[in-house]
A and B are shown apart, each in its own frame.
Chain A
Amino acid sequence: MLGRPQKILISLDLNGQRYELAVEPRSTLLEAIRYAAGLTGSKQGCDKGDCGACTVLSNGAPILSCISLAVEHQGDRITTIEGLAHGGKVHPVQDAFDLCGALQCGFCQSGMMISAAALLERNPKPTREQIKEALSGNLCRCTGYTKILEAVEVASGQRQLAELDPRPTTGSPA
């Protein structure tokens, strides 16, 4: 294309697997993950770091891949939603999100679960305030966050699913 620098070969560690990708230097990490490596679980929501749908982990820390340069993350251990499950078993966060009804449209949830998983890694028994704080960079439009918070409490073993099932449906206050 007009005036475009040549593509460069970068090497990304995605979910413990090495990917050799030819990308332009201007490629964001999200573009590299989604379009070059074909891992479409991480999402484009807002283009510029306002919504969190693109959240991945870089060496365990949650970052916004849509405003990160792919070329700068060589040598980092990147974890995407596809890498949360291990040995055929989903991560407790993924299971809890499903069981608790935290997944409505699901679009924000890759980023949300990544942030939640990172939180539990650092702080295995977070308070509700701490959960809200850790997820406050992930916008959700469907759930109002209520079931997301419950799901993280369940995943951290601080709330029993049985409390939620059967939940009172005739109106005693929570």
Chain B
Amino acid sequence: MLTLPPFEYHSPTTVEEAVALLRQHRGQVKVIAGGTDLVPNMKHRLFTPAHVVGLKAIAGLDRVAEEGPDIRLGAMCTIAQLARDPLVQKTLPSLAAAASQIAGPQLREMGTLGGNICLDTRCVYYNQTYFWRKALGFCLKKDGTVCHVVQGGQRCVAAASNDTVPVLMTLNARVRAVGTNGLREIPIAELYVPDGIVNTVLAPEELVVEVRVPRPEGRLIAGYQKLRVRASIDYPALTIAVAAKIDPADRAEWIRVVVSALGARPHLVGGLERFRGRRFDQGLAAEVSQVAYRQCHPLTNINVDPAWRREMVPVFVRRAFARAQLSGSGYFEKEGAQRTSDSPPPPNTPTQQTR
């Protein structure tokens, strides 16, 4: 059995108390939400904090609500909760789709939105036991100086592997975090930096408490595709979110595509402004997908053939748009359509049959 290292456990009941603990034990403390990321990493001795601060006793962080122009998602909402929530399914269907495909059923019951947003970056040379990493000679991200993905690399390229993030980026979400200076709001596109060691701008004692997503108005097409070897459990080999705002004449007002499971920062595909005003159809989606293809370069940080993953980028960008198109007026369900809270949204994983 892999053991956990020893630590003191704290269970604050307010956000302020939690932040104070993070400040007090700065440098020796980690936050635990669902534990699905932290606990395996601690078993791997990637983190050995002397103090662990649990968030479960803080009330009020697990709600989904509409407020004004926003959908408010509490950071302690579980992934399963997001996948099943009727408001999320109705207004943010690409987020429900992404959530329903994270990991496996048990992990979705445990993992949280905040945890997914703050997910540690991943790499085949990093997410291993202490024995393994020592046999390797360690790596740039942890305990060593050499990157085994990029020869001579000085910047860590461990992969951002959080599936909610590409979707939230296409939908212009804002992350709200509380630190020693109080609350601040960070547009999600500004939250991430291309540094695999710490890939967010959050301060060490800052706690994500909420995500706010503008409620989509008008004709907004939002789609999501995930590529992974198995249809469950696996982290993404590619995780792709698309969104486009279509005017009444079927022309694109804006198009956003985010591809992740590449390097440390989810990649917002640039240069899509050139398509503004063009008629939005499958042909346009194909051109957009080629732009994405030119910008995306999967690495050997994930153990799925990077050359093949690169070839899959345009395919799955196109499919994300195509499947969003198929439902009629974008990915939205018709007003009042029923969906049982237990059945996941139509599977988009390529390992499923298309009928």
Q: How many residues of B contact A (CB 8 A)?
A: 35
Residues of A within 8 A of B52 (CB): 25, 69
Residues of B within 8 A of A136 (CB): 104-105, 231-233
Residues of B within 8 A of A126 (CB): 342
Residues of A within 8 A of B44 (CB): 48
Q: How far is the CA of A67 from the CA of B343 in the complex (A)?
A: 26
Q: How many residues of A contact B (CB 8 A)?
A: 37
Do residues A69 and B232 form an inter-chain contact, with CB atoms below 8 A? Answer: no
Do residues A49 and B36 form an inter-chain contact, with CB atoms below 8 A? Answer: yes
Q: How far is the CA of A31 from the CA of B3 in the complex (A)?
A: 10
Do residues A134 and B6 form an inter-chain contact, with CB atoms below 8 A? Answer: no
Task: Tell me how far the C-beta of A107 lies from the nearest C-beta in chain B, rounded to whole angstroms.
Answer: 15
Classify the secondary structure of B's interface with A.
Answer: loop
Do residues A122 and B342 form an inter-chain contact, with CB atoms below 8 A? Answer: yes
Q: Which residue of A lies closest to B342 (CB)?
A: A123
Which residues between 13 and 58 of chain B lie within 8 Å of chain A, taking CB atoms? 32, 35-36, 39-40, 43-44, 52, 54, 56
Interface residue A94 (Cβ < 8 Å from any Cβ of B): no
Interface residue A95 (Cβ < 8 Å from any Cβ of B): no
Q: How far is the CA of A11 from the CA of B10 in the complex (A)?
A: 16
With A26-B4, A48-B2, A67-B35 as given contacts, are A62 and B109 in contact (CB-CB < 8 Å)? Answer: yes
Which residues between 200 and 259 of chain B lie within 8 Å of chain A, taking CB atoms? 231-233
Do residues A71 and B9 form an inter-chain contact, with CB atoms below 8 A? Answer: yes
Residues of B within 8 A of A122 (CB): 342
Residues of A within 8 A of B2 (CB): 47-48
Interface residue B8 (Cβ < 8 Å from any Cβ of A): yes
Do residues B107 and A130 form an inter-chain contact, with CB atoms below 8 A? Answer: no
Interface residue A63 (Cβ < 8 Å from any Cβ of B): yes
Q: How far is the CA of A1 from the CA of B192 in the complex (A)?
A: 41
Q: Which residue of B lies closest to A71 (CB)?
A: B9
Interface residue B1 (Cβ < 8 Å from any Cβ of A): yes
With A28-B39, A68-B35, A123-B342 as given contacts, are A52 and B106 in contact (CB-CB < 8 Å)? Answer: yes
Residues of A within 8 A of B7 (CB): 5, 25-26
Q: Which residue of B lies closest to A51 (CB)?
A: B233
Query: Residue among B9, B36, B43, B106 with the most chain A CB within 10 A?
Result: B106
Residues of A within 8 A of B103 (CB): 137
Do residues A67 and B40 form an inter-chain contact, with CB atoms below 8 A? Answer: yes
With A62-B106, A64-B106 as given contacts, are A47 and B36 in contact (CB-CB < 8 Å)? Answer: no
Out of B56, B80, B233, name the residue touching A50 (CB < 8 Å). B233
Out of B5, B9, B36, B104, name the residue touching A67 (CB < 8 Å). B36
Query: Residue among B1, B7, B8 with the most chain A CB within 10 A?
Result: B1
Interface residue A13 (Cβ < 8 Å from any Cβ of B): no
Do residues B106 and A55 form an inter-chain contact, with CB atoms below 8 A? Answer: yes
Residues of B within 8 A of A69 (CB): 9, 32, 35, 39, 52, 54
Interface residue B284 (Cβ < 8 Å from any Cβ of A): no
Q: Which residue of A lies closest to B4 (CB)?
A: A26
Do residues A130 and B342 form an inter-chain contact, with CB atoms below 8 A? Answer: yes
Do residues B32 and A137 form an inter-chain contact, with CB atoms below 8 A? Answer: no
Residues of A within 8 A of B149 (CB): none
Interface residue A61 (Cβ < 8 Å from any Cβ of B): yes
Which residues between 43 and 98 of chain B lie within 8 Å of chain A, taking CB atoms? 43-44, 52, 54, 56, 80
Interface residue B272 (Cβ < 8 Å from any Cβ of A): no
Which residues between 112 and 150 of chain A lie within 8 Å of chain B, taking CB atoms? 115, 122-123, 126, 130, 133-137
**8 A-B pairs, CB-CB below 8 angstroms?**
A5-B8, A47-B43, A49-B40, A49-B107, A63-B110, A67-B40, A71-B54, A136-B104
4 other A-B residue contacts (CB within 8 Å) besides A48-B44, A52-B106, A69-B35: A26-B5, A26-B7, A49-B107, A50-B233
- Interface set of B (CB-CB < 8 Å, partner A): 1-9, 11, 32, 35-36, 39-40, 43-44, 52, 54, 56, 80, 103-107, 109-110, 231-233, 340, 342-344
A-B pairs, top 8 by smallest CB distance, nearest first, are: A137-B104, A136-B232, A47-B2, A25-B9, A67-B39, A48-B40, A26-B4, A61-B109
